[in-house]
Amino acid sequence: MSAAPATDPPVAEGAISQLLRPIRGRLIVAAILAGLGTALTLLPLAAIAYLAGLALDPADGGVWALGSTAHVWPVIAGSLACLMLGMILVSLGEMLAHLLDNQITSHLRLAITRRLGKVPLGWFTARASGEVKQAMQDDVDTLHSLTAHFYTTVGRSLGAVSFATVYLFATDWRMAVISLLPFPLFFLFVSRATRASSANMQAFGAGMARINNAVVEFVNGITVVKSFGIEGKAQANYREAVDGFALAFEDFARPLVSAMANAHALITPVVVLGIVLAFGTLFTWLGWIEAIDLLPFVLVAPSLCAPLLLLSYITHDLHNATGAALRIQQLLATPELARPTAAAIDLPARTELQVQNLSYSYDGETPVLSNIDLTLRPGTVTAVVGPSGAGKSTLARLLLRFFDPDTGRITLGGVDLRQIDSTQLYRHIGFVLQDVRLIHASLRDNIALGRASASLDEIEQAARLANVHERIIALPRGYDSVVGEDAQLSGGELQRVSIARAMLLDPAVLVLDEATAAADAENEVHIQQALSRFAQGRTVLVIAHRLDTVMHADHIILIDHGSIQEQGTHAQLLATGGRYARLWQAGDYPNTELAEHGRC
């Protein structure tokens, strides 16, 4: 999910507006509190100028008359009260903004989690985990500057500018214009520089996504990389991503550096004070103002530098927050898997699975499967063989409703899978796939993932059937061992745990996609025997590469180029003398004719 261009303000504003809708009103309240508080903290400066005017004015007796002036002490007391009240209001505004930031962060992460829980499972196979992590973790964190700081910073800046503008213009409008002139010029220069660099914002965001993906890819593949001694090649991918990001960042930052440096120098307190003193001296020499009247400008004008500089910094962060908001909005807009429109359907225990005129493509153009028709009858084993990329695993995932077919339909007990709730569907269809995924929990919890109410005896029985019980009890904590901590299992052992999980679920339909791919020869025999016992009375679909592992299947289907080329029993396929027979005679599957045709 690359960042959207920063040059499309309506889309950006719409994304931010949507994300902040639950808390926008309270953020405005926080900004008002911060603005009022800032204005109150500047009132003591006006009081200092007033008291200094009294002390230095010869007409009122000069400095000696200061102590006898009746309203001096109320002014001092009022100034201190305003200062304290202003600090309290600013603190309340900042605290409210941070509380709202925590609220919206929690809301967004829960919303993203709920959304990802409703998207097709096949959606995750097409997304790099680095991109999902960027949107779900990094981008939500990036919004912190928008929710916790931007609104209150704007409020503080507006409060300071409003007070200063009214006060200084009330004192002398000519000096007010001169004193405030650097600030609009500053924002003019900053806006021009920002527009010049915004054209490269999309490349900037895309570069960050490439780095995230390269890091995840490198870490996940570190074992293979070191095993084959190709650290340099793996690191090269990361270096290329970093170098590409560096170039994008250079294009993004080049228009900003000199312009921003000059703009920031324009509103430093020293520069603003210098302008006030230079023009104040000139106006005094011309007789337009008295020297004592310069004091309010000397005190108040430089005090505007800090809030306006902070506003410029937070405005720069706003661009990053805008890109983050767009990516989060795109993730929240991910299409969901269609929900059943009817009430829960009571499916029979023994159900027939039918695939009718099914076609599917990942990109909407190149078909992976075309016009597939097959029936999986209760109590039978159907094997699907074919070259890599022929569509075997895609067919298995369609049967599990990881995604829906483009055309045709799949029915379970005569009911379209799209009309069966996912929870109910996975009580009837169990699966063991090549890509094993165990959660960070105990082996007991992993096996009982689909049946949390299962007893330890039932869990152990499933583990025995999957030939993994002896390995588990040999661990220091047995079934309480946590995967990845005190349970370091091999690929074959992990696959057997996933097989035990499927067995415990006791589904009517079982889909096995190379379920024994990671097991050694001895364990493969035991697992095959366990699966054969477990498959009795169930509807089983087996995806396999080796023909000898499925020769006893009730029905064998050979898929190539996304369509069914041959089907029948092992004996029937041998008798026809077709491709299956040639492959069987060659005995070198898949590195023979079938492998040569292994193109999608």
pLDDT-derived band at 106 (thresholds 50, 70, 90) equals confident
Cα 86 from chain centroid? 39
For residue 593, pLDDT over 60 is answered with: no
Pick the most confident of 1-10, 70-79, 448-457. 448-457
In the chain, % of residues over pLDDT 90: 10
Domain ranges of the chain: 12-332, 353-596
Spell out the SS3 assignment of 572-587.
HHHHHCCHHHHHHHHC
pLDDT-derived band at 203 (thresholds 50, 70, 90) equals low
Spell out the alpha helix ranges (H) of 295-362: 295-300, 305-332
Q: Which residues make Cβ contacts (< 8 Å) with residue 53, sequence separation at least 6?
A: 292, 295
Of 282 and 423, the structure prediction assigns the larger pLDDT to: 282
Work out the average pLDDT over 8-19.
60
For the segment 284-306, what is each residue's pLDDT rounded down to a tens digit?
998 888 888 888 899 888 888 88
63: tokens are: 């400095």
Pick the most confident of 89-98, 151-160, 259-268, 513-522. 89-98
Longest dimension (CA), the chain: 124
pLDDT-derived band at 519 (thresholds 50, 70, 90) equals low
Distances (CA, A) of 117 to 332, 336, 572: 11, 9, 44
Which of 217-226, 370-379, 564-573 shows the lowest mean pLDDT across its residues? 217-226
Residues 3, 202 contacting (CB under 8 angstroms)? yes
Looking at residue 268, its pLDDT comes to: 85
For the segment 460-514, what is each residue's pLDDT rounded down to a tens digit?
988 888 888 888 898 888 888 888 788 788 777 887 888 888 888 888 888 888 7
Looking at residue 26, its pLDDT comes to: 92
Work out the average pLDDT over 535-542.
80
Looking at residue 599, its pLDDT comes to: 31
Best CATH choice for the domain 12-332 from the list 3.40.640.10, 1.20.1560.10, 3.60.21.10, 1.10.645.10: 1.20.1560.10
Of 61 and 361, the structure prediction assigns the larger pLDDT to: 361
Q: Which residue has the tokens 């902070």?
A: 310
Looking at residue 82, its pLDDT comes to: 92
pLDDT-derived band at 10 (thresholds 50, 70, 90) equals very low
In the chain, % of residues over pLDDT 70: 78
Looking at residue 1, its pLDDT comes to: 36
Say which CATH class 353-596 falls into.
alpha beta
